[in-house]
Structure 1
């Protein structure tokens, strides 16, 4: 996160790291939540001596933003959008709990919702858990997000429990020498869904 800040970005970390309910299997997902050229992120990491072992482009559904994932190891990644995020896509991170670099340094923990749809409230001795279903409005108010993002996540995660993970619309690993922008341009020319998504948002392609 310090490497990204030195390059003029304000990254966040979200999920269990932000909430404090970490386990040995917890992923560390650092996010740059604004539109930024991919080379700027990659150069910032390289300048700090961090090696990217895999670069992957992901689009969850035909309606969602395309994101770039830079993996530093199996459990640590840096994510950033390749087109402008919608309000709900941005709120996704706050829904799960997010903090910035200064808060990480101070040991701040914030409330958020995990994949079991449990509201995690940090306490001085750990955390307490409360179910989200049936309390969507209250949860939205406590997190400072819209009821829409809470309802969307309840639907998605409940459906996942019922029928299992259904995969994502697009997942493409980049080869050495490829840039996210050039791959996205090619996909835009080939895929109507990606073309529609890009036509309705600001992007770098």
Structure 2
């Protein structure tokens, strides 16, 4: 199906991308990306601006450059890499995340699954293909985008996005479960108002498995 954008939708995209550029310029030396609908272009007014750094960095290098409202420490499963999320506003429209230990290959490919774009590409007005939460492959066009269900064309999607078909299938299984059962929750999700470091020590004190993960990564 071809989707044609009207002037209002193009304006929403421009506004979301301006917000992303403003944040990413402050973190340029940390090589941030924007991922999801802002990278693909199929945004709506309630779309989030999701920015990520894909390698572990000292939290203060992010905290000192941004004014954030609150944050979260999140570990999706006992085996996944813990991440810090900083929300720059109460509504959590603009959020930046970074891992607290090195990401696995599949975790890195997660960002390409949804579509990712670096600061240079964002400034050039580029748009990239990716798969949305409804499991539709979104391919940008000059007028808007082309979309089609990804189930049944996993191999073609993997080639287009440059990621493994295993990652495609894992994400499809996860998103399908969420659609059928509702949000499945995460292993750890701790909201905080102060620094990431303070939150980490508090979480490590409460959760032995989480503490072990951070110790193995050299974060404690």
- The structural deviation recorded for 1:190 is 4.1
**Aligned-pair RMSD on alpha carbons?**
1.6
Output the CA distance in 2 between the equivalents of 1:203 and 1:21: 39
| Residues 120-131 of structure 1: pairs in structure 2 closer than 5 A | 120-131=138-149
Worse-matched range after superposition: 135-144 or 106-115:
135-144
- The structural deviation recorded for 1:204 is 3.0
- Give the corresponding residue for 1:48: none
Output the CA distance in 1 between the equivalents of 2:27 and 2:218: 20
- Give the corresponding residue for 1:95: 113
Output the CA distance in 2 between the equivalents of 1:54 and 1:185: 17
Residue by residue over 1:126-172, the C-alpha shift from the partner in whole angstroms, topping out at 9 and shown as x without a partner, is 10001111221211111000111101110001111111112111111
For structure 2, the 5+ residue unaligned runs are: 1-23
Residues 93 and 139 of structure 1, relative CA distance in 2, 3 Å threshold: same
Output the CA distance in 1 between the equivalents of 2:53 and 2:166: 23
Asked if 1:180 corresponds to 2:196, the answer is yes
- Give the corresponding residue for 1:4: 27
- Give the corresponding residue for 1:157: 175
Query: In the comparison of the two structures, how many residue pairs are matched?
Result: 195
TM-score (norm 1): 0.89
Which of the numbers 188, 202, 205 marks the counterpart of 1:170? 188
Output the CA distance in 2 between the equivalents of 1:114 and 1:96: 6
Residues 102 and 163 of structure 1, relative CA distance in 2, 3 Å threshold: same
- Give the corresponding residue for 1:107: 125
